[in-house]
Structure 1
Amino acid sequence: MSEKIAPATPALTASQASWRCVQARDRAGWLALMADDVVIEDPIGEAVTNPSGHGVRGRAGVGEFFDANIAKNRLTITCEETFPSSSPHEIAHILALHSRFEGGFTSTVRGVFTYQVNDAGLITNMRGYWNMDAMIFGQDGSSDSSNG
């Protein structure tokens, strides 16, 4: 289902607000979207952004995640497709994340990202189905399929 025709739900509203805050590097705005007990697994499993493999937990942990992984790059998020669930509190998207770091280093990854919100519309879980092997790296505007 296209993002343009997905019914407005608390999960859709929160996920889109999350993308706006991330792209604007709005740390305070992004953290305001999170429940106190939020868990972010981006990606699911052990990775540089999820060292324990059990996710980043709580607003303080998510703030550190933002500082380490979002604030340091210019991130563009493209939603390719949206999949609403039968619950207004959960949604999945196919997203392409394009990062540009200082010095011209770039990375692109495409994955499935799920969002769950509580009754207040705050994000309780965000999970990314992608891995480092799928990431495309580049330099100075070019991209290639090497991973290193």
Structure 2
Amino acid sequence: MTTTTEHPARVAGTASQAAVRAKNKEAWVALFAADGIVEDPIGPSFFDPQGVGHRGAEAIAAFWDKAIAPTESIEFLFDDSFACGREVAYTGRIRTTMSGHIVHAEGVFTYKVDEDGKILALRAFWETERAMSTMKKA
């Protein structure tokens, strides 16, 4: 993967991934701007039935409790990243281990930051059915 750590969106993305791996909810939520949003995956899902995303610290913390806290581990297996403007897009997959099972969500994962480097938007383009078809015993 070709990366440089100087780009502000890449810095924020790397910090977000590190907080998730460390299971540090407070550090993760603190990376977001006050009006930041998480759309993971984008559109209606079991995490977001209305498909409107999780906006603001309280909603982002609630997303953590539903989607990240129950996991045993989350690994970011990205092939590459592309930084433009105030955004970065990672390509690859996220491997989640939960309840003794492993699932791979392959897709594109983006971070957009404000002028202070706070995350305005974390958006994940992955297909639920496709990810669930990869489920296997850990």
TM-score, normalization by structure 1: 0.86
Asked if residue 124 in structure 1 is aligned to residue 120 in structure 2, the reply is yes
CA RMSD of aligned residues (A): 1.2
Mark the CA change 1:3 to 1:49 in structure 2 (over 3 Å): closer, same or farther. Answer: farther
Mark the CA change 1:60 to 1:3 in structure 2 (over 3 Å): closer, same or farther. Answer: farther
Asked if residue 96 in structure 1 is aligned to residue 96 in structure 2, the reply is no
Counterpart-to-counterpart distance in 1, 2:28 and 2:20? 7
* Over 3 Å off, 4+ runs: none
Count the aligned residue pairs: 135
Contact 1:3–1:79, Cα closer than 8 Å, also in 2: no
Asked if residue 75 in structure 1 is aligned to residue 69 in structure 2, the reply is no
Q: What is aligned with 1:29?
A: 27
Counterpart-to-counterpart distance in 1, 2:23 and 2:103? 17
Q: What is aligned with 1:41?
A: 39
Contact 1:47–1:53, Cα closer than 8 Å, also in 2: yes
Counterpart-to-counterpart distance in 1, 2:92 and 2:47? 17
What's the offset of the Cα at 1:7?
5.8
SS at match of 1:53: coil
Q: After superposition, give the CA deviation of every residue in 1:32-70 in whole Å (9 maximum; x if it has no partner).
A: 101110111111111112221111111100001001110
TM-score, normalization by structure 2: 0.92
The percentage of counterpart residues that share the same residue type is: 30
Gaps of 5+ in 2: none
Counterpart-to-counterpart distance in 2, 1:113 and 1:101? 20
SS at match of 1:18: helix
2:8 counterpart letter in structure 1: P
Gaps of 5+ in 1: 142-148
What's the offset of the Cα at 1:106?
1.8
The structure with more radius of gyration: 1
